[in-house]
Structure 1
Amino acid sequence: MADLRYSLELLSGLGRELTSLADALDGTARRTSWDAEDVGHRLVADALDGFAGSWDDRRELLTRALRAVGAMATESAATFQDVDDQLAAEIRAVLEPR
């Protein structure tokens, strides 16, 4: 069996960071309406409206993906910790004098 090396601290930290990033993205202001007077030309305003609408959709997809991967990292860290604890308990049981 191949050796598996991991850092519970890094894995659980990754989960927290990704969730935090998703929260930050989710909280960004959504300005989806531009006026020609704001930007100087109707074509520019229309382009900005199109970009903002697409960005809102993409931001939602990205936020969902960040939350999902963050949850996977957090759950993986918890599972690795549980397995590590179980293996340690089994080793202690074998090594204890009878």
Structure 2
Amino acid sequence: MGGEAGHTKLDLDVIKGMGTGLGNVKKAFEGLEKLTQKYGDDFGQTDLAEKFEDFAGNWEIKREELTSEIDTLAKIAKAAAEAYEDIDHQLAEAIRGAQDPKAPRKGK
């Protein structure tokens, strides 16, 4: 976002892309295997195996939290882009109506 003389400029393609990209990250996180299932046996019965299991368990919890937050951000970005597009269309319609006083106005 940038501005000149109080005007705000938004790149709707960037905002839409952010929503799509975050959605893709969420899908990737959801598709990850549990680490203990993939590597747990590789450590054998050692302290390292216990540490890895603790790490994997914590990672699973944090990954689920992060996935939820990413999903929320993706939805916000998509909703913001839609809202800005709607406002842009309404403003364009109002400007066209103001330039052509003979044009039919909504609600009248």
- TM-score of the superposition, structure 1-length normalised? 0.91
2:101 and 2:51 map into 1 onto residues whose CA distance is 76
Q: Percent identity?
A: 30
Say whether residues 1:22 and 2:8 are aligned partners: no
Write the mapping of 1:13-92 to structure 2, written as runs, cut at 5 A: 13-32=17-36, 34-35=40-41, 38-39=42-43, 42-92=46-96
1:32 and 1:86 map into 2 onto residues whose CA distance is 53
What is the one-letter code of the residue matched to 2:97? A
Aligned CA RMSD, in angstroms, stands at 1.5
Aligned to 1:4, the other structure's residue is in SS state strand
Alignment gaps of 5+ in structure 1: none
**Of Structure 1 and Structure 2, which has the larger fraction of its residues in strand?**
2
Deviating above 6 A after TM superposition, structure 1's stretches of 4 or more consecutive aligned residues are none
2:58 and 2:22 map into 1 onto residues whose CA distance is 22
1:57 and 1:20 map into 2 onto residues whose CA distance is 20
> How far apart are 1:40 and its partner, in Å?
5.1
Task: Determine which structure has greater relative contact order: mean sequence separation of CA pairs < 8 Å that are 6+ residues apart, divided by chain length.
Answer: 1
What is the one-letter code of the residue matched to 1:23? K
- TM-score of the superposition, structure 2-length normalised? 0.83
2:18 and 2:24 map into 1 onto residues whose CA distance is 10
Paired residues, number? 96
The residue that corresponds to 1:3 in the other structure is 7
